[in-house]
């Protein structure tokens, strides 16, 4: 009998537990990073330029995490119609505008002029559009990948049935 030299020879149940622990720790890390960013910016009053690299890494990490979840089917998407996409986009825009308003009018107490508000609205709308487009592309690529995998499995099953 050949001995398995792998240091971690885990069964399916052990792997599932490990995956859950890893996912929970990743989620706690993301929440901790967000807390540190908000604490530095709002409680300590530090400029975003003091920790901009940290904030960029956090943003890219979260965006690619969501994109990967969409691509690999972890976030199941049913048929999305135009109404639900518009609702999601509207929610993104409202949350972005709310965050922007709170940032400049509550936490930094500097207030914005009408022209500055319009500039911020344009930025929020464009960024939300790009993020939604980014997620849509990964969701479509993931759906195409899953359909191709299902088709390949169906052909293998059909071939096995024909050959028997």
Does the global pTM surpass 0.75?
no
In a domain, 18, yes or no: yes
* pLDDT, tens digit, 9 for 90 and up, residues 41-60: 888 888 777 877 887 888 78
In a domain, 3, yes or no: no
Question: 116 lies in which domain range?
Answer: 12-163
Number of structural domains found in the chain: 1
- The helix/strand/coil state of 10 is coil
* pLDDT, tens digit, 9 for 90 and up, residues 118-137: 888 898 899 889 988 888 88
In a domain, 7, yes or no: no
In a domain, 129, yes or no: yes
In a domain, 88, yes or no: yes
């Amino acid at each position: 009998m050949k001995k398995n030299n792998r240091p971690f020879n885990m069964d399916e149940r052990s792997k599932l537990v490990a995956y859950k622990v890893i996912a929970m720790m990743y989620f706690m890390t993301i929440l901790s990073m967000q807390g540190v960013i908000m604490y530095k910016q709002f409680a300590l009053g530090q400029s975003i330029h003091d920790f901009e690299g940290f904030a960029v890494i956090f943003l890219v990490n979260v965006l690619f995490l969501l994109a990967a979840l969409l691509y690999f089917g972890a976030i199941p998407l049913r048929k999305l119609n135009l109404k639900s996409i518009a609702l999601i986009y509207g929610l993104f825009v409202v949350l972005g505008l709310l965050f922007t308003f709170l940032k400049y009018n509550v936490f930094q107490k500097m207030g914005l002029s009408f022209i500055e508000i319009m500039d911020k609205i344009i930025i929020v709308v464009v960024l939300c559009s790009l993020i939604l487009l980014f997620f849509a592309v990964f969701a479509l690529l993931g759906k195409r990948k899953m359909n191709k995998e299902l088709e390949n499995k169906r052909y293998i099953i059909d071939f096995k049935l024909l050959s028997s």
